[in-house]
Structure 1
């Protein structure tokens, strides 16, 4: 077996696998506990996410953070943003606890971070929506 084939086998075992699913559920449990502890707003199920609003700004990054199936924010919970965050939820499901490391390795600049690009830069609020154009989560604004 070549090195490339071994890398593909390793990638398959670590992503979309029982290991990644355990990591996803662990992250969801952590996100739920963090959100339940600090949320002072609505807690609701929307777009497949447990959305915690009213969070103090220091408890999440940027406009909000997706941790497993939980979205933590102060008030940034519009439908377009939640579509963007639903893509991050799917990334958590695929990569499990590798996701935070892979995200960090992709860089802090959302315009170059492959996970933010995949979730949709416009939907995530990283680039301005062009007039007359609807932001689509999961679509790279640069390629549309």
Structure 2
């Protein structure tokens, strides 16, 4: 598999760190950002309550609204505040780990989150929020294979 995306991902994360230094500290992980997170969660609850036809569950610190129509969310689902809105599939643990990072991003950036996410771009391989949440857990890239194990018969017999 071509892993050229890793270099671009590192550049995107570095750009994001530089950009964050320009944001006044009072807006990050602050009472103001918590208000923005609460607002986002309220919006997610309203949207999920209007359109969800599936089971609503609390998982990984998120309110998961399933059974959303495809037009009501992007890609495989969307995190709005503390809510994950998705279609009919039961989200995997990996997806929920990914979305829990987005929830934490909402807590950090509050009202700024939707704007900053849009500025980061639609390409998940270059979007610092998707990269930070884990491209593999989010299903954007294939999981790296674990290192090959050496079969016992192929190991050296030099040991006593």
| TM-score in same-fold range (> 0.5) | yes
- In the alignment, the residues of structure 1 paired with residue 90 and residue 25 of structure 2 have an alpha-carbon distance, to the nearest angstrom, of 34
Gaps of 5+ in 1: 1-6, 134-144
TM-aligned CA distance change 1:9 to 1:104, over 3 Å: closer
What is the Cα deviation at residue 84 of structure 1?
0.1
- Segments of 5+ residues of structure 2 without an aligned counterpart are 1-19, 148-160
* CA deviations over 1:24-66 (Å, ceiling 9, x no partner): 0001001001101110111000000000001000111110000
CA RMSD for the aligned pairs?
A: 1.7
CA contact (8 A) 1:63 1:76 kept: no
Give the TM-score normalised by structure 1.
Answer: 0.83
Alpha-carbon shift at residue 77 of structure 1 (Å): 1.0
Deviation >3 Å, runs of 4+: 7-10
Select the residue among 64, 68, 77 that pairs with 2:81: 68
2:71 and 2:21 map into 1 onto residues whose CA distance is 38
CA 1:9 to 1:110, structure 2 compared with 1: closer, same or farther past 3 Å?
A: closer
Q: Which residue of 2 aligns with 1:128?
A: 142
90, 103, 107: which is aligned to 1:93? 107
Superposed displacement of residue 18, structure 1 = 1.0
Which structure would you say has the larger RCO, counting Cα contacts within 8 Å and 6 or more residues apart?
2
Residue 132 of structure 1: CA displacement? 4.0
Q: Distance in 2 between matches of 1:30 and 1:23?
A: 10
Inter-partner Cα distance in structure 1 for 2:22 and 2:52 = 41
Count the aligned residue pairs: 127
**C-alpha distance in structure 1 between counterparts of 2:100 and 2:33, whole Å:** 17
| 1:1-144 → structure 2 map (5 Å cutoff) | 11-74=24-87, 75=89, 77-132=91-146
- Deviation of 1:128 after TM superposition, in Å, equals 1.0
Higher radius of gyration, 1 or 2? 2
